[in-house]
């Protein structure tokens, strides 16, 4: 496994972290678009056939 | 750079110097060729749809079947298959590594093809004329939903294979430093795809379960929310891959490097976080969602993704300008632009794609994302004009441009008919410009989308408003643009097919093309360490084929191999001297002015529609 050079700036190491990118890419739209949207729809009296 | 830990059958490309692993090469090529087949099929449908407006005898029933199939063929099948090829290319050849799980990748490819066949059968047999959006309570045949699901899951798995290649390459140390910027852009696309495809799987999964009787009903508002996660999200994948392809074309044709690589990476991060939120603009007139949700996402959060596009809009031409100035074209603000190798298909496709995407597609998209302005054009041909500007003028043109380089390199065959290849981006570009501008104008005039018969013949109340001038003229423009674009598309398919079938086999397939790949370019790994001075030059520049004499002449000294030009000096004096890319700075000011004018025009239109006071 290759080692990150010691002098690599932390910002660069952060941007290179693929798992972090995946987490951001799922959580941000998951909360702002989907979660918030579902919450608003669930407030409707007719949602889910209710 | 070290060799891959587990060597696989491979060769070294004599043009780029990349190590090309055979299985990755074959997989990339197979997916891209399948994409070309879809492009040809979708183009055939496009000409029928467009000419129906001019009297081609096509029944309304068939018109709707073709529109449904055309949408899926172009928006999903063509672009995604090409993108899968690009992901495999970027994660193996650019990282000097091998394809992980190639057998699974081949099985996945077969599954995607089966999905396409099922969906196409359902749409063309009249069992799924539900259009691209497939909103319930409309229902389609079970095999349509199954086909789309298989294709979407296949793309998701392709993204997993891609990310596995990238992570394994890092672990094995097959490249040094950070990922090449092009691969970083592909990573952004894959991450965007993960969310998008997950959302799409839920949307189509609900309809599939309903079609087999497991679910009694599907709530339309909930479906729409999930659907636009993929309906718009897939276009954001296209966007990210397209920007990566723009950077790749700069690397291939000019040997350019990013103006500020860190900033370009931050722009991709902004895409990853915020670009999905633009999907809400499809729901701006949806009664189920609250105003806060709609406005916060489209008018605030989305602008962070727009900021990313503006960064790329500066970075791309800026990288071209710096590369040109380093080649000696330093005089004035725009000599670098004038002296671009305009006959190089990768350059013409790149410039046209960037201009169309910025000036037409991006601006119209931001207008549509503004709630009040959206009311003016919702469900009109303006929307169709916008997405043709994005995925045809922008993405498809960029993909065509890079194909002229990728296909010879991957197939090891000389490009057939380079003369036609040089003309093609211009023919296609003019066609799509006329097509999209015609659609945008027609939408401004209120022409509805997804209506086969604008006169509503046979309706109890006649509709004559769409027969009044200037609408027939504008619709004629749309058809003329479509014909020109299809001619350009036929040229592209002809060159690609001829290259793949009868192109001369070669170990150095660069005839008719200029490859100016350089170390430190957008295509090669690059890392700035904390002790490296900002603005430092790449360590070496390798021009693999000589520039043509007509490019070198005229202005400034011809490019010198290994010279690296004059660093970041633009060659200008006075107030412009402090800018690294002064010509680009001037161009973005023009772009800003264009944006302001469009907003003013749109708000004047709005004030006339809904007078205040």
For residue B86, which of B123, B33, B32, B152 has the smallest C-alpha distance? B32
Q: Which residue of A has its CA nearest to B218?
A: A48
The rounded Cα B367 to chain-centroid distance in angstroms is 20
- At residue B290's C-alpha, the angle toward residues B284 and B295, to 5°, is 55
Percent of chain B with pLDDT over 70: 90
Domain ranges of chain B: 341-453+462-504
Residue of B4, B91, B178 to mutate for A, most A C-beta atoms under 10 A: B178
φ, ψ for residue B10 (rounded to 5)? -150, 170
B538 or B29, which is more confident?
B29
Lowest mean pLDDT among B6-15, B41-50, B264-273, B355-364: B6-15
pLDDT at B1: 45
Task: Tell me the Ramachandran region of residue B412: left when phi exceeds 0, alpha when psi lies from -120 to 50, beta otherwise.
Answer: left
Helix (H) or strand (E) holding B12: strand B10-12
For residue B68, which of B44, B45, B43 has the smallest C-alpha distance? B45
Calpha distance B436→B52 (Å, rounded): 17
**Beta-carbon separation of B195 and A26 below 8 A:** yes
pLDDT at A49: 59
Residue B548's alpha-carbon distances to B30, B252, B331, B339, in angstroms, are: 33, 15, 20, 12
Question: Environment class of residue B296 by beta-carbon count within 10 Å: exposed (0-12), middle (13-18) or buried (19+)?
Answer: middle
**Beta-carbon separation of B225 and A38 below 8 A:** yes
Query: What mean pLDDT, rounded, does chain B reach?
Result: 87
**Beta-carbon separation of A33 and B297 below 8 A:** yes
Residue pointed to by tokens 């692993």: B21
**Beta-carbon separation of A29 and B266 below 8 A:** no
Furthest-apart CA atoms within chain A: distance in Å: 59
The count of other CB atoms within 10 Å of the CB of residue B607 is 10
Residue of A29, A34, A48, A49 to mutate for B, most B C-beta atoms under 10 A: A29
Q: Is the pLDDT of residue B28 over 80?
A: yes
Task: Please tell me what DSSP assigns to residue B343.
Answer: T
Per-residue confidence band for B370, with pLDDT thresholds at 50, 70 and 90: confident
Coil/strand/helix, residue B461: coil
Question: Environment class of residue B105 by beta-carbon count within 10 Å: exposed (0-12), middle (13-18) or buried (19+)?
Answer: buried
Tokens encoding B504:
């001369």
Calpha distance B326→B270 (Å, rounded): 30
The 3-class secondary structure across B485-509, one letter per residue, is HHHHHHHHHHHHHHHHHHCCECCCC
Tokens encoding B97:
């590594």
φ, ψ for residue B568 (rounded to 5)? -90, 5
pLDDT at B300: 83
Per-residue confidence band for B549, with pLDDT thresholds at 50, 70 and 90: very low
pLDDT at B288: 86
Q: How far is A7 from chain B (nearest CA, A)?
A: 6
Per-residue confidence band for B520, with pLDDT thresholds at 50, 70 and 90: low
Q: Which residues contact B468 (CB under 8 A, 6 or more apart)?
A: none
Percent of chain A with pLDDT over 90: 52
**Beta-carbon separation of A8 and B529 below 8 A:** yes
Average pLDDT over every residue of B442-457:
87
Calpha distance B79→B81 (Å, rounded): 6
Residue B380's beta-bridge partner residues?
A: B448
Q: Which residues contact B99 (CB under 8 A, 6 or more apart)?
A: B8, B21, B23, B24, B27, B88, B91, B92, B105, B161, B165
Highest mean pLDDT: which of B142-151, B452-461, B515-524?
B142-151
**Beta-carbon separation of A24 and B273 below 8 A:** yes
Per-residue confidence band for A6, with pLDDT thresholds at 50, 70 and 90: low
pLDDT at B525: 67
A6 or B283, which is more confident?
B283
Average pLDDT over every residue of B183-208:
95
**Is there a contact between B364 and B609 (Cβ–Cβ < 8 Å)?**
no
pLDDT at B298: 83
Lowest mean pLDDT among B33-37, B155-159, B358-362, B532-536: B532-536
Lowest mean pLDDT among B97-101, B142-146, B286-290, B482-486: B286-290
Task: Please tell me what DSSP assigns to residue A4.
Answer: P
Helix (H) or strand (E) holding B21: strand B19-21
Q: Which residue of B has its CA nearest to A13?
A: B178
Residue of B264, B273, B275, B295 to mutate for A, most A C-beta atoms under 10 A: B273
Helix (H) or strand (E) holding B19: strand B19-21
Question: Which residues in chain A are closer than 8 Å to B171, comparing Cβ atoms?
Answer: 1-2
Calpha distance B42→B192 (Å, rounded): 25
B558-589: pLDDT as tens digits: 444 333 444 455 667 677 777 889 999 999 99
Calpha distance B495→B424 (Å, rounded): 9
Calpha distance B282→B295 (Å, rounded): 12
Q: How far is B537 from chain A (nearest CA, A)?
A: 18
φ, ψ for residue B565 (rounded to 5)? 65, -145
B350 or B290, which is more confident?
B350
**Beta-carbon separation of B221 and A22 below 8 A:** no
Residue pointed to by tokens 């290259």: B499
B308-320: pLDDT as tens digits: 999 999 999 999 9
For residue B373, which of B613, B102, B600, B129 has the smallest C-alpha distance? B600
pLDDT at B569: 59
**Beta-carbon separation of A5 and B222 below 8 A:** no
Tokens encoding B241:
């891959």
pLDDT at B613: 64
B220-247: pLDDT as tens digits: 999 999 999 999 999 999 999 999 999 9
Question: Which residues in chain B are closer than 8 Å to A47, comparing Cβ atoms?
Answer: 219, 221-222, 288
Calpha distance B64→B62 (Å, rounded): 5
The CB-side HSE value for B211 (13 A sphere, CA atoms) comes to 19
**Beta-carbon separation of A41 and B221 below 8 A:** yes
Helix (H) or strand (E) holding B10: strand B10-12
Pairing, β B10-12 against β B19-21: antiparallel
pLDDT at B13: 87
**Beta-carbon separation of A21 and B195 below 8 A:** no
The count of other CB atoms within 10 Å of the CB of residue B121 is 15
φ, ψ for residue B20 (rounded to 5)? -110, 115
Question: Which residues in chain B are closer than 8 Å to A38, comparing Cβ atoms?
Answer: 222, 225
Chain A interface includes B191 (CB < 8 A): yes
Please name the residue ranges forming H helices in B131-281: 142-172, 181-211, 220-231, 233-254, 261-274
**Is there a contact between B74 and B238 (Cβ–Cβ < 8 Å)?**
no
pLDDT at B478: 95
Residue of B288, B300, B536 to mutate for A, most A C-beta atoms under 10 A: B288
Lowest mean pLDDT among A31-40, B72-81, B452-461, B545-554: B545-554
Chain A interface includes B286 (CB < 8 A): no
Lowest mean pLDDT among B102-111, B288-297, B422-431, B432-441: B288-297
Highest mean pLDDT: which of B119-133, B445-459, B508-522, B547-561?
B119-133
**Beta-carbon separation of B188 and A21 below 8 A:** yes
Calpha distance B22→B92 (Å, rounded): 10
Helix, strand, coil % (nearest 5) of chain B?
Answer: 65, 0, 30
Calpha distance B44→B78 (Å, rounded): 13
Question: Which residues in chain B are closer than 8 Å to A28, comparing Cβ atoms?
Answer: 272-274, 276-277
pLDDT at A48: 67
Average pLDDT over every residue of B48-73:
93
**Beta-carbon separation of B171 and A7 below 8 A:** no
């Amino acid at each position: 496994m290759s080692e990150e050079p010691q002098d690599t700036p932390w910002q660069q190491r952060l941007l290179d972290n693929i798992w972090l990118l995946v987490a951001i890419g799922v959580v941000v739209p998951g909360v702002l678009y989907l979660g918030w949207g579902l919450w608003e729809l669930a407030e409707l009296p007719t949602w889910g056939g209710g | 750079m070290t060799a891959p830990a587990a060597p696989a059958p491979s060769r070294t490309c004599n043009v780029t110097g990349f190590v090309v692993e055979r299985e990755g090469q074959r997989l990339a090529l197979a997916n891209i060729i399948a994409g070309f087949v879809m492009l040809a099929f979708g183009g055939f449908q496009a000409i029928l749809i467009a000419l129906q407006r001019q009297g081609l005898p096509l029944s309304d029933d068939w018109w709707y079947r073709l529109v449904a199939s055309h949408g899926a063929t172009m928006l999903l099948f063509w672009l995604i298959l090409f993108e899968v090829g690009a992901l495999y290319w970027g994660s193996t050849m650019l990282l000097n590594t091998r394809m992980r799980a190639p057998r699974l990748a081949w099985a996945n490819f077969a599954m995607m093809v089966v999905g396409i066949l099922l969906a196409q059968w359902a749409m063309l047999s009249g069992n799924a004329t539900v259009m691209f959006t497939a909103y319930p309570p409309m229902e389609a045949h079970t095999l349509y939903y199954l086909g789309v699901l298989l294709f979407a899951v296949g793309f998701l798995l392709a993204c997993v294979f891609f990310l596995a290649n990238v992570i394994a390459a890092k672990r094995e140390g097959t490249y040094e430093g950070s990922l090449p910027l092009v691969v970083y852009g592909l990573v952004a696309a894959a991450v965007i795809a993960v969310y998008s495809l997950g959302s799409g799987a839920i949307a189509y999964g609900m309809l599939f379960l309903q079609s087999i009787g497991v679910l009694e009903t599907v709530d339309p508002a909930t479906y729409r929310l999930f659907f636009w996660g993929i309906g718009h999200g897939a276009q954001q994948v296209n966007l990210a891959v397209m920007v990566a392809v723009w950077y790749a074309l700069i690397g291939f044709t000019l040997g350019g490097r990013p103006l500020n690589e860190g900033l370009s990476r931050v722009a991709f991060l902004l895409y990853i976080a915020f670009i999905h939120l633009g999907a809400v603009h499809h729901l701006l007139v949806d009664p189920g969602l609250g105003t806060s949700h709609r406005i916060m996402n489209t008018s605030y959060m989305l602008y962070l993704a727009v900021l990313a596009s503006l960064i790329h809009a500066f970075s791309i031409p800026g990288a071209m300008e710096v590369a040109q100035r380093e080649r000696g074209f330093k005089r004035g603000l725009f000599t670098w632009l004038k002296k671009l190798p305009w006959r190089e298909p990768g350059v013409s496709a790149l410039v046209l794609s960037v201009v169309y995407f910025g000036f037409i597609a991006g601006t119209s998209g931001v207008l549509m994302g503004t709630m009040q302005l959206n009311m003016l054009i919702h469900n009109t041909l303006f929307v169709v004009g916008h997405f043709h500007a994005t995925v045809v003028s922008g993405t498809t043109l960029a993909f065509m441009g890079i194909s002229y380089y990728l296909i010879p390199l991957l197939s090891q065959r000389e490009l057939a008919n380079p003369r036609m290849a040089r003309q093609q981006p211009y023919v296609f570009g003019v066609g799509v410009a006329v097509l999209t501008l015609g659609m945008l104008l027609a939408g401004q005039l209120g022409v509805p989308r997804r209506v086969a018969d604008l006169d509503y013949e046979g309706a109890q109340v006649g509709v004559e408003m769409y027969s009044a001038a200037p609408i027939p003229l504008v619709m004629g423009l749309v058809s003329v643009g479509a014909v020109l674009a299809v001619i350009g598309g036929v040229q592209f398919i002809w060159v690609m097919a001829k290259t793949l079938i009868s192109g001369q086999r070669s170990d150095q397939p660069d005839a008719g093309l200029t490859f100016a790949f350089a170390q430190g370019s957008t295509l090669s790994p690059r890392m700035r360490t904390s002790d490296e001075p900002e603005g430092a030059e790449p360590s070496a520049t390798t021009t693999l084929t000589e520039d043509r004499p007509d490019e070198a002449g005229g202005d400034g000294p011809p490019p010198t191999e290994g010279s690296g030009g004059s660093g970041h000096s633009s060659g200008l004096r006075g107030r412009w001297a402090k800018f690294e890319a002064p010509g680009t700075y001037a161009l973005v000011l023009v772009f800003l002015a264009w944006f302001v004018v469009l907003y003013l025009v749109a708000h004047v239109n709005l004030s006339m529609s809904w007078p205040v006071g």
